[in-house]
Amino acid sequence: MDAPLNRNLNNFSRIVIKIGSALLVDPENDLRETWLNSLIDDLASLVQSGKEILIVSSGAIALGRSQLESVQKSEQLKLEESQAAAAIGQIELSRAYNESLNRHQLSCGQILLTLGDTETRRRYLNARATINTLLQSRVIPIINENDSVATAEIRYGDNDRLAARVASMVNADLLILLSDIDGLYSQPPTVNPDATFLEEVEIITSEIENMAGDATNQNSRGGMKTKIEAAKIATASGTAMVIGSGKPHNPIKEIAEGGRATWFAPSTNPVNDRKKWIAGGLDVTGSVVVDCGAIAALKSGKSLLSAGVTQVSGNFSRGDTVEIVDSDGTRIGRGLVEYDSHDARKIPGLQSAEIRKLLRQPIRAAMIHRDNLVLNS
């Protein structure tokens, strides 16, 4: 990294804050109102100092489940029960945020997203325009996954990655993930009390990824694994990220005053807006394995040609996102593929003339064009 990571919140202008269910809702599925008010006090101070604030909030299902008479307290919810709980809880969650913000003469607007709202380019741009309009009017967006309609096939599954996707979408310069743990450790502290705490992460390596553990709270979907995935999305877009404990009151003030937290450095060479969308996409439908020559060509800024592809996996259509990997399975990057999987499987290693003869149709200039391709940093 060229320079020390900036940790002064005063130097960030647009901040996305993600709040987990376990922080907002107690084990009895009641709102932690005093804690929420302390958080909003922190955010109001940031707004008054000129910051733009977005909140990505979990908690709707946890708040709503207590009103489902057919569900036992410790019972795992079925899909339709989760959706019903979310429909109830979203109203409660919005009311709680609005009442707390009103104490500071601030207001909020609710935005519910599904996977398609960030993975489909037109809907992505529309969601971004809506969020920007709210911010221009000094209204704080409260964003959540639309759990009342999302299914396993069309959901983020956790709000860590949703928050990172939103941060990338709106060009935020900081993403704060408030958690029930104060940062990243070499091992989960519940497993090894002597695990090493990481104060700063410059580059997310495979070693860093292997340090992550799963969620432990029944009201949480994520865990450290999804937070590391979120960090990869955010930092590639030029957004710094911090994982800090949300357990104390005034948790943002705690981080601002140097409290224990793990900071992730943003990329010093973030991609442009279209490539941010590609890089942060969660809906990857296949992969292509490339040879050493293709890797060198990609790193020099060239498109991925079929001649450099050795294997194609998955079922995808033209324009879908696929991973680019080397022969060992290491991810090189990703991009929007120019062929559907049926044709793509026929042409690895072939030159243009051979492809034209085999497919008997106009050929594409590349398997993945350089304008639709993002390499891992």
* pLDDT tens-digit readout, 302-338: 999 999 999 999 998 888 889 999 999 898 999 999 8
Locate the domains of the chain by residue range.
Answer: 9-275, 284-375
Percent of the chain scoring above 70 in pLDDT: 91
> Residue 262 forms beta bridges with which residues?
243
For the chain, the C-alpha Rg in angstroms (whole number) is 22
> Residue 145 forms beta bridges with which residues?
113
Helices within 137-267 (DSSP H only): 159-169, 206-209, 224-236, 251-256
Rounded to two decimals, the pTM is: 0.79
pLDDT(220) > 80 = no
190: Cα within 13 Å, side-chain hemisphere: 10
Q: Residue 346: which pLDDT band, with cuts at 50, 70 and 90? A: very high
Of 3.20.20.100, 3.30.70.1450, 2.60.40.1840, 2.30.130.10, which CATH number belongs to 284-375? Answer: 2.30.130.10
Query: Mean pLDDT across the stretch 186-205?
Result: 90
Mean pLDDT rounded to a whole number for the chain: 87
> Residue 140 forms beta bridges with which residues?
108
Helices within the chain (DSSP H only): 21-24, 33-48, 60-65, 79-102, 116-119, 121-136, 159-169, 206-209, 224-236, 251-256, 273-280, 292-299, 341-344, 352-359
CATH number of 9-275: 3.40.1160.10
Look up tokens 């450790």; give the residue.
Answer: 185
pLDDT digits (tens, 9 = 90+) for 239-282: 999 999 999 999 999 999 999 999 999 987 776 767 877 877 76
> Residue 242 forms beta bridges with which residues?
176, 263
Q: Which of 15-19, 95-99, 111-115, 288-292 has the lowest mean pLDDT?
A: 111-115
Q: Which of 54-68, 191-205, 214-228 has the lowest mean pLDDT?
A: 214-228
